[in-house]
Chains A and B, each alone.
Chain A
Amino acid sequence: MLLLTCPWCGPRDETEYHYGGQAHVAYPANPAELSDEEWAEYLFFRDNPKGPFAERWVHSTGCRRWFNVVRDTVTYEVLAVYGPHDPRPELAAGDPR
């Protein structure tokens, strides 16, 4: 069970949240100009890193707000929690472990 800290409600069990996939995937500026391949790339292709990964979560049974998390996909450690419109925070190398 992950313990995620909602920016508005504080620490709550993973069961109160829903996962929203990779964060910072921008909607194309001109979708009509995309080729089928580029559109498929936008819709379906996501990073799958071994290590820190920026992802979206929604506190669905709490305040119902979206926010972003940087989570280590190896250790499941939550390295950062930040607002849905904030840039991905810089994490010092090897920190915090």
Chain B
Amino acid sequence: MADLAILRESPLVHLHERMRAGHDRPVALRETAFLTMASVRVRPGSAAARRIGEVLGGPLPTACGETTAAGGRTALWLGPDEWLVVSSADEPAALTAALHEALGGDPGSIVDVSANRTVLELSGARARAVLEKGCPVDLHPRRFTPGRAVTTTVGPVPVVLWQTAATAYRLLPRSSFADYLARWLLDAMAEYTAPGEP
């Protein structure tokens, strides 16, 4: 079978060059495309939720903002009975098959949503300052820390905002909003990335 993966194009391929420029600056932006993602709906605290947690290597998070990570997979809390699993370790079909098996015949759903969102990585000492120009969530380190993720807005764009390190964030917009969000971020970054800026 032909390898269809070579034909695919990320939603931000046309902006990669602009994002690469100025990578030595105090804030940088890049796209990590084609991560495997699965939507998980299951009753919280149920036997099926426990089995899914075992497949993922850790229990599904139970409160807004929480994530659990194990073996290249992270489960992000999206709602009281809804999670997003992001994986750099699985092909989409393999991940959804494993989760389907864990769900069994119990109420819930497992859907491959890998093409639904792309991943923008915003990092550097000024990353938080850039986000704070247009995000209503309190991102101060006393409230928002590495390993936390929330659904919110950046500018007018709904995103999953996920802090991965002290000065690194992942933003997951829907693919069709990715172009607008990337341009919004590049614009917000401009004062820190202009040549001659410290």
Contacts and interface: CB of A to CB of B under 8 A. Distances in A.
A binds B: yes
Contact of B64 (A9, A15, A64): A9
A63 to B, nearest CB: 4
**Complex A-B, nearest 4 residue pairs according to Cβ-Cβ distance, in ascending order:** A63-B79, A13-B136, A9-B64, A61-B158
Given A8-B64, A16-B136, A61 B152 contact: yes
A65 B80 contact: yes
Nearest to A1: B136
Contacts of B151: 9, 61-63
B12 to A, nearest CB: 21
Contacts of A15: 136, 153
A12 interface: yes
Interface of B: 64, 78-80, 82, 136-137, 150-153, 158
B131 to A, nearest CB: 14
Interface residues of A, number: 13
A10 interface: yes
Contacts of A63: 64, 78-80, 82, 151
Interface in A19-69: 61-65
B46 to A, nearest CB: 18
17 contacts: A6-B64, A9-B64, A12-B137, A12-B152, A15-B136, A15-B153, A16-B136, A16-B152, A61-B151, A61-B153, A61-B158, A62-B150, A62-B151, A62-B152, A63-B80, A64-B82, A65-B80
